[in-house]
Structure 1
């Protein structure tokens, strides 16, 4: 991978993450326009650069052309573990979280209701996980990893992944829970990156991400039923 491509990826990653934070928190965008912006910034723009600026085949760039499906076993096994850990963590810490505030934020700022949450849950599980894994691991990490800056690839992708999520839960938790969440997200990002080096594409982390999100949206269904 050319170094100028790596620099472009770093610049795009930072700009797009900042824009999503602005859209989420400063502009207070509701869920539909926020999602449309995310699809554009995390998917369409990177694909445009890959195909039309760098003149590369998308499947080749993402290392998806020749796939050994046996290498995805780690994603499934860790995904099942993540599903259990997410649920256990929630029930251990739920007394320290403003659960009513989370639901209130979803309803007032994002305009998500109990009726529309089913569609949001499906998007989070399959669509949002795909966008984030394509962007943070497929587009950013794996291609920076091919340069001589492998440690930077791990730290940059995982740090950006963690910091980006501040825009989502900034108003939900206390400062200590936010710091704990950031540490957890950074660690998860490192694991996702490492897992993808085994398959040389982002499918392993996508599988893991989807299974973890199933636990997250299940918690959402629980909260909507209570509040």
Structure 2
């Protein structure tokens, strides 16, 4: 039974990521449409599975828990400083112009609507990804698979998922560096989830990371 559940969870996660990859890289709808599709895949699909597996209590992942809050804030500020500081230190070594042009051409994100997109990405999208990749693909999978396997699978699929949306953004070196950072970031998020048994701590750190990335986006779009 455990092996069967491992296969089912991995299949659901993989198919959802594959479909989102097709949406990001091939279909390329407007950002609002893309967001709705992502909610259906990353939120509704796990909920539907939880109706089949009565032992799976997804609502426990959303149970408020204040443990680790100070550590999360400190970690989040540190991540923000590293990402934002790294941009000012080495950003001029890479051509980042492809980011804004790709966002505008592929999903309609522009200087005019970037503020609202940035707010959604930082607050809502980060929570959605934490629920799916850390809550469902890690904490749920860890109940049936080995701890090491759950860590690697959830972090690897998290990094691979971002491949499709970042096509054309960077040169090869920065692309590899970004994917590697996403994998390492996934491992760190998994650690927070495992230690505090909820997704809020990793969500807070993820949120700060998005604050930094979106801050860079404001600069690239010439908003600030």
Give the TM interval when normalised to the shorter protein: over 0.9
| Structure 1 alignment gaps of length 5 or more | none
C-alpha separation in 1, matches of 2:5 and 2:66: 29
Alignment check: 8 A CA contact 2:84 2:216 kept: yes
What TM-score do you get using the length of structure 2 for normalisation? 0.92
The answer to whether the Cα contact below 8 Å between 2:96 and 2:170 also exists between their aligned partners in 1 is: no
Go from structure 1 to structure 2 and tell me whether the alpha carbon gap of 1:198 and 1:73 turns closer, same or farther (over 3 Å shift): farther
Which deviations, in whole Å up to 9, do the C-alpha atoms of 1:53-86 show, x marking residues without a partner? Answer: 12354323x2x44x54123332222111001011
Alpha-carbon separation, structure 1, partners of 2:89 and 2:154: 29
Residue 91 of structure 1, CA deviation: 1.6
In the alignment, structure 1 residue 203 sits paired with structure 2 residue 200 = yes
What's the counterpart of residue 180 of structure 2? 183
- Using structure 1 for the length normalisation, give the TM-score: 0.91
Matches within 5 A, 1:102-181: 102-181=99-178
What does residue 23 of structure 1 align with? 23
Are residue 10 (structure 1) and residue 7 (structure 2) matched? Answer: no
Cα deviation for residue 2 of structure 1 reads: 4.2
Aligned to 1:42: 42
**Match of residue 53 from structure 2:** 54
Give the distance between the partners of 1:205 and 1:84, measured in 2 at CA: 17
From 165, 171, 192, the equivalent of 2:189 is 192
Structure 1 stretches of at least 4 aligned residues deviating more than 6 Å after TM superposition: none
Q: Following the alignment from structure 1 to structure 2, what is the Cα–Cα distance between the partners of residues 143 and 58?
A: 9
Aligned to 2:33: 33
Q: Is the 8 A contact 1:10 1:140 kept in 2?
A: yes
Gaps of 5+ in 2: none
